[in-house]
Amino acid sequence: MALIQRIAAQAAKTFRISKGSAAFQQQLSTLKELTRTLTADALNFDLDLVRDQRKFNPDIGEAPFAYIGIFEDKVFSMGVFVLRSTAALPIHDHPDMHGIVKVIHGSVSVKSYTKVLEPTPTNDSSHRRRLLRVKAHDVKRLTPSDGVCCLDPVNANFHEVSTEDTPGAFFDILAPPYDHGRCRNGPRICRYYCEIDAAEQGAEDARYLMEIQQPSWLWGSHAEYQGHRIESTWDDSTDSD
């Protein structure tokens, strides 16, 4: 069985059981270990997507990333993001979601945050957006030889993913998927944030994120998946918890 098919089957098995159970943690560990071994070759990744070494320039209207959709159902999604040189997916959230990231080409930096307090209104009446107090984690620079980077509904649920002088590509599992395309006002809509000066909020030792509009330069092109076609061999009638 192809590795990506094994990963898909394991993801289905993992995310269709109760998230608070010991069995879930065991299955999640198995999924992480399988994903850790994934390579660009195993996905038949098209290296032409990363041959352009030019730095991302938002002023000329080019997409900072390309997305390769591999599989999606109501329980989980799998795909590959290909980031241009010096591009970034700015700070965004993953509401009530688990995520697994595995770099398959180049290097990618991941800066993550964990929320430590409930949202509070900003002091600036011109901003009607959420202000979150967060803990910032150490930036992780990941290459194909590294393991996986993970998030869950509580820990590291906000992150920024970026590249430096060369393009990078990473495989991504999200469970459940975002609601985009299914329910425009659903609970799992991706929101974007910027980090603001904590001193302005009277808390020198804290970090804050403020919700912002999706940046106008942030959009993605699509590329064709050329790897093993995923077969849904699991029971689609089983609902996730």
pLDDT higher than threshold 60 for residue 40: yes
Provide the mean pLDDT of the chain: 89
Name which residue leads in pLDDT, 235 or 164.
Answer: 164
What mean pLDDT do residues 7-19 have? 95
Residue 154 phi, psi (nearest 5)? -110, -50
pLDDT higher than threshold 80 for residue 66: yes
pLDDT at 238: 44
Distances (CA, A) of 2 to 38, 108, 204: 11, 26, 51
Pick from 46-55, 78-87, 165-174, 205-214: least confident: 205-214
Instruction: Quick: pLDDT tens for 142-151.
Output: 999 999 999 9
pLDDT at 240: 42
pLDDT at 241: 43
Instruction: Quick: pLDDT tens for 119-141.
Output: 555 555 444 457 899 999 999 99
Query: Which run of H or E residues covers position 29?
Result: helix 22-36
Pick from 14-18, 180-184, 218-222, 229-233: least confident: 180-184
Pick from 82-91, 164-173, 189-198: least confident: 189-198
pLDDT at 180: 66
pLDDT at 20: 83
The distance from CA 80 to its chain's CA centroid, rounded to whole angstroms, is 10
- pTM over 0.85? The answer is yes
pLDDT at 128: 45
Could you tell me if 84 and 56 are in contact, meaning their C-beta atoms sit under 8 angstroms apart?
Answer: yes
Extract the runs of DSSP E, i.e. beta strands, from the chain: 65-72, 77-83, 88-93, 98-105, 108-115, 120-121, 130-136, 140-142, 149-151, 158-162, 168-175, 192-196, 207-212, 220-222
pLDDT at 18: 87
Q: Of 123, 120, 106, whose CA–CA distance to 200 is shortest?
A: 123
Q: How confident is the model at residue 234 (pLDDT cuts 50, 70, 90)?
A: confident
pLDDT at 28: 97
Query: Which run of H or E residues covers position 183?
Result: none
pLDDT higher than threshold 80 for residue 102: yes
Q: How confident is the model at residue 189 (pLDDT cuts 50, 70, 90)?
A: confident
Quick one: what percent of the chain has pLDDT higher than 70? Answer: 85
Name which residue leads in pLDDT, 128 or 233.
Answer: 233
